[in-house]
Amino acid sequence: MINFQPETESSFFSALGIPYGYLHESGCEPLLALCLVRAKNALAESVKNHGITQKEAQKIEEVLKVFGLLETMDMIFKRILAYVIPADFTPLYCFEICTRCPVPLPHGYICQENDRGEKFDYRLDTKVEGIVVCFSLVENDQISVLDAIRICQQILSSDLIEDETRYAEAFVRYARSGRLPGRSWTQKEALEF
């Protein structure tokens, strides 16, 4: 059994005008549903591997459309990039692309603005992951909504790869290339290789 739980409590997504919710499936962690394309992919995976029926998946898809999830992540990216940060805002955090390690694909960290030292101890590999992490940091009162939006704008303007599927594909291409670790590839290099 799977169901969709709409949410409206996030100050982060509310500020951006982005509808969202969670897909709940028996025996699985709730999945953040941000756009129809990603939600449909998750539903197809549940039909294939978790025993929900195609009819259940179609019913949930209709609920997602009625609720008003945006169609694609690109639509979400555009909303984030269009948000105007007030001129008098003083940021405490920023996003920084990593240039210090041999990991071949673009990645980065959320850092304190004043010293650009690593503040959070996980790396961000994709733009979607960055949005989800910023949402989580706001929900846990670790950063402000404006800091999170600004960080997402920096992430979306960076060379990070869009999502985990494209990241995995780029990593496989890199592994097959025989190229030695050195500087990180740009997004263009990773996707075109």
| pLDDT one-digit tens code per residue, 29-80 | 889 999 999 999 999 988 888 788 899 999 999 999 999 999 999 999 999 9
- Alpha helices by DSSP H, the chain: 11-16, 36-49, 54-67, 73-82, 127-139, 145-156, 164-177, 187-192
* Confidence label for 180 from pLDDT (cuts 50, 70 and 90): very low
Q: How many CB atoms lie within 10 A of CB 14?
A: 14
Q: Which pTM value belongs to this model?
A: 0.83
Which residue in this structure is represented by tokens 């290099």?
Answer: 189
Smallest Cα–Cα separation from 121: which of 113, 106, 133, 132? Answer: 133
- Helices then strands, counting H and E runs in the chain, come out as 8, 5
Q: What's the number of CA atoms in the CB half-sphere (13 Å) around residue 185? A: 21
**The pLDDT of residue 181:** 47
Q: How far is CA 117 from CA 104, 121, 134, 183, in A?
A: 21, 11, 18, 20
Ranked by mean pLDDT, the top range of 64-78, 91-105, 169-183 is 64-78
Which one has a higher pLDDT value, 52 or 152? 152
The candidate with the shortest Cα–Cα distance to 97, out of 165, 184, 188, is: 184
Mean pLDDT, range 85-91, rounded to an integer: 95
Name, in order, each residue with C-beta under 8 angstroms of 76's C-beta and a sequence gap of 6 or more. Answer: 16, 18, 34, 35, 70, 131
Structure tokens at 157: 């303007």
Backbone φ/ψ region at 120: left (φ over 0), alpha (ψ -120 to 50), beta? beta
Query: Residue 54 and residue 62: Cα distance in Å, rounded?
Result: 12
Average pLDDT of the chain to the nearest whole number: 86
